[in-house]
Chains A and B, each alone.
Chain A
Amino acid sequence: MVATQSATELNDLLSALVANANKPFEEARAMPPGVYSSPEFLSLEESEVFQKEWLCVGRAESISGAGDYITFDILEEPLVVVRGDDGEVRALSNICLHRMSRLLEGRGNAKRIVCPYHAWTYGLGGDLIGAPYMENSACFDKHEYQLPKARAQVWQGWIFVTLNADAPDLDQHLAQLGETVTNRYAMENYVETFREEHVWDTNWKILAENFMESYHLFRLHAGTVGPHSKVEEMECPPGGEAFNYHWITKESSLALGNAHPDNTRLEGDWRKTTALICAYPGHMITLTPGYFWYLCLQPRGVDKVHIIYGGGFAPEYVNDPNADQMISELKALLDEVNVEDRVGVESVYRGARGALASNGHLSYLERPNFEFGQYLARKTCPETTTMVNRNAAE
């Protein structure tokens, strides 16, 4: 009986999501409150979005040497992304083939992957090369053991992994994002200088949506970046099937925000234009001519979001004598902004749980949020959303 009731509630929720996604943007509302608190909706997101999509792990240059690795979980599936002796980036299952211990934690460099439990030892390609005290186990043949692989690809410097064998290659999947937004910045040459992991008490989408619009800057960030932002500088063009974005064009208050004098790729206003990108489902990038910072989001239950938070320079700044000073100033400012965002998004989550909560109309500055709702409608109920605008940018 309980299950039937939940099923009805989920159907109502999906209908509301689809109905909103099918409206013209000028009439649209924020997503219905239930998408942020329903465990059934989360299950659907897990199976239809996070198990199927390409998810960003971080930057390829942060694992530049053979044996450099980053551990990364897709929901409950532990993976390790490691650069092999051949220079290839691979995603291996991070679970020992013996008694299922996690193999590696955090990030680092390893010549061999040695299980901390009984020292079963793997090569960087996942092949088992040693298993002590197994010589009396009659059926054991180490050559038959190989850590399972997930798909891993690098696109413009970003490492993505997926559990979906049928997902289209990244070059194809993100081609439109490159053409529309990122190619001009040559993002593949940017260099990461910091990377952290956090967990906040909010639904993952609330943090994603917070990143998608700069409408809130003047208010929520009144103590930091708000006073430097003007809505006239913001532009929210339609995105594509795999991404949304908006632009902010202005002289940066930080030296690092503008193109370096040695940067000859960007011309005119592009030298002071920032792109704020969401590659669905949860890879958010702030890309400026001088620096970038990013978030990679995954749900951990309806009420928690796991966050990878990183950033760094455009290549021209790497050799600048003031680079370290500039990046530490930038990092300090971003940390302050993040504190404000955390208060905001944790508070929205508490608001959205209220029985009297309702989803209001969106401003013209929230087009990416609207498209994010359309994306989720497409993924969570593909049969009923044939009408949902699939190629908004075309």
Chain B
Amino acid sequence: MPPSNHLNSGVPSLDKVLSTLRALAEKPLSEATAMPREVYLSDELLELEKKNIFEKEWLCAGRTDDIPNAGDYLTYDIGDQPIIVIRNKNGSIRSMSNVCLHRMMKLLEGRGNARRITCPYHAWTYKPDGQLLAAPHMEKTSCFELKKMKLPKVRCEIWHGWIYVTLNPKAVSVGDQLKKLDKVVGRYRMEDYVGIISEDVEWNTNWKLLCENFMEGYHLPVAHRATVGGFIPLDDTKFDARGPFDSFTYQYFGKSADAPVGTAHPKNKHLKGKHRYTSILPTVFPSHMYALAPDHFWYLSIQPNGTDKVRIRFGASVAPEVLEHHLDPEGFLRDTKWFLSTVQEEDRVVVEGIFKGAKAPLSKSGPLSWLEHENHEFTQYLARRLTSAKT
């Protein structure tokens, strides 16, 4: 039974929502509209999204340089499942359930370094590979065997510095899914970028509205006129003619040569020609998106928390030469953090505003611009995942 929700008054049945979505996905971009409001409001659709998408797909938990040393860990939730991502002594990264095998306490919170994982409740203690090592006062429990207890493993793969995790044992590997994106992002060498920000926040909007906001540069000159909007010649936006792809979409966009950020540093010798002032905007479906520039990237990894709330892990990294050769790296970091938080705040205002708009019964979604190419591919992705495997 889906939870009752006052937002659902006037929302069509799930079958109706899905058939509308399917019909929209079949249209060419030149005839397409944005997704209808009920897609953002339906509790039933959310349940299907959780089942067909968030329990099945690879989700981004962070960056490998968030946990550079043996024993460094970060925590992340896939839906309701808390997980740990930890670096082993041999340098490899593994992921497992973050729930104690005794009374189901969450083991670790946030980030840190642990040689052993000790439950804060009754001190059951695990090795970094999840094997139970000690459980005090269990000697009188006859069926209990320490050796048999191991935290369930969660699939975890690394791709260009990104940590992807999934609860789906059958998911095709990240490398295979993103093969056609590999060359495109490869030239930036983003695996060497150095993390400067990583935070978790929650906003009051539907998860898809935030995704869609990140997928197009169309709003930049308006919503972000005070920050990043001024230096982006939208006519330079380009899309990959090989698309649409099953697992991702992306676009190229240019930066004017006088932009303060977003172009290659003089010490960057690997990017040539137009690539020195070209950025790309990949969306790895369902919800890992980043703006990758020659000198930095910032990213979002998004999950729904109800139809009306979104959980966001966001971060930013800079190319190593930018930090190495900066005269005032601390000042630079401070300014960059301030700048990105300002951009984020501009986005929050917009996407929370759209959600309020979508709730209004008189709202109607309008036609898309050619600049909203990724948005239409997102609609098509959702139609594929939600209408084909419907159970």
Contact = CB atoms under 8 A, between A and B. Distances in A.
A307 B2 CA distance: 28
B121 A216 contact: yes
B104 interface: yes
A355 B80 CA distance: 7
A68 B138 CA distance: 49
Interface of A: 2-3, 6, 26-27, 30, 33, 36, 39, 209, 215-216, 218-220, 231, 343-344, 347-348, 350-365
A365 B82 contact: no
Interface string B71-102: 00000010111100000000000000111111
B152 A30 contact: no
Given A355-B167, A360-B149, A348 B121 contact: yes
Counting from the closest, the 7 A-B pairs by CB-CB distance are A360-B102, A353-B80, A356-B97, A364-B140, A354-B81, A351-B99, A219-B123
B172 interface: no
B97 A362 contact: no
Given A220-B120, A351-B98, A363 B138 contact: yes
Nearest to B80: A353
B44 to A, nearest CB: 9
Contacts of B144: 361
A27 B143 contact: yes
A209 B144 CA distance: 20
A215 B139 CA distance: 13
A357 B154 CA distance: 12
B122 interface: yes
A357 B140 contact: no
B167 A351 contact: no
B141 A354 contact: no
Given A2-B1, A356-B97, A216 B122 contact: yes
B119 A361 contact: no
Given A3-B1, A6-B1, A361 B143 contact: yes
B170 interface: no
Nearest to A360: B102
B49 to A, nearest CB: 16
Interface in B100-132: 100-107, 109, 118-124
Contacts of A30: 102-104
A359 B99 CA distance: 10
Given A26-B141, A30-B104, A348-B105, A354 B121 contact: no
A348 B103 CA distance: 7
Contacts of A363: 122, 135, 137-138, 140-141
A4 to B, nearest CB: 11
Interface string B288-328: 00000000000000000000000000000000000000000
Given A219-B118, A344-B105, A354-B81, 7 more contacts: A3-B1, A27-B142, A39-B1, A218-B136, A219-B123, A348-B104, A354-B80
A357 B82 CA distance: 9
Given A2-B1, A351-B98, A362 B152 contact: no
Contacts of B81: 353-357
A115 to B, nearest CB: 29
A39 B1 CA distance: 9
Nearest to A23: B143
Contact of A215 (B2, B99, B122, B154): B122
Contacts of B136: 218
A89 B222 CA distance: 68
A337 to B, nearest CB: 14
B119 A219 contact: yes
A26 B137 CA distance: 12
A344 B121 contact: yes
Contacts of B141: 26-27, 361-364
A5 to B, nearest CB: 9
30 contacts: A3-B1, A30-B103, A33-B104, A36-B104, A219-B122, A220-B120, A220-B122, A344-B105, A347-B105, A347-B106, A348-B106, A348-B121, A350-B77, A350-B80, A350-B82, A350-B106, A351-B82, A351-B104, A351-B105, A354-B104, A356-B97, A357-B97, A358-B152, A360-B100, A360-B101, A360-B124, A361-B102, A361-B143, A363-B122, A363-B140
Contacts of B121: 216, 219-220, 344, 348
A272 to B, nearest CB: 22
- Residue of B80, B104, B135 with most partner-chain A CB within 10 A: B104
B120 A215 contact: no
B137 A364 contact: yes
Contacts of A348: 103-106, 121
- Residue of B118, B122, B124 with most partner-chain A CB within 10 A: B122
Nearest to B102: A360
Nearest to A343: B120
Nearest to A353: B80
A218 B97 CA distance: 24
A249 to B, nearest CB: 17
A354 B167 CA distance: 11
B239 to A, nearest CB: 37
Interface in B13-47: none
A110 B140 CA distance: 55
Contacts of A361: 102, 138, 141, 143-144
Contact of B137 (A39, A231, A350, A356): A231
Given A3-B1, A27-B142, A363-B140, A354 B82 contact: yes
A348 B122 CA distance: 12
Nearest to B107: A351
A169 to B, nearest CB: 35
A6 B47 CA distance: 14
A26 B142 contact: yes
Contacts of B2: 2
Contacts of B102: 30, 360-361
A358 B120 contact: no
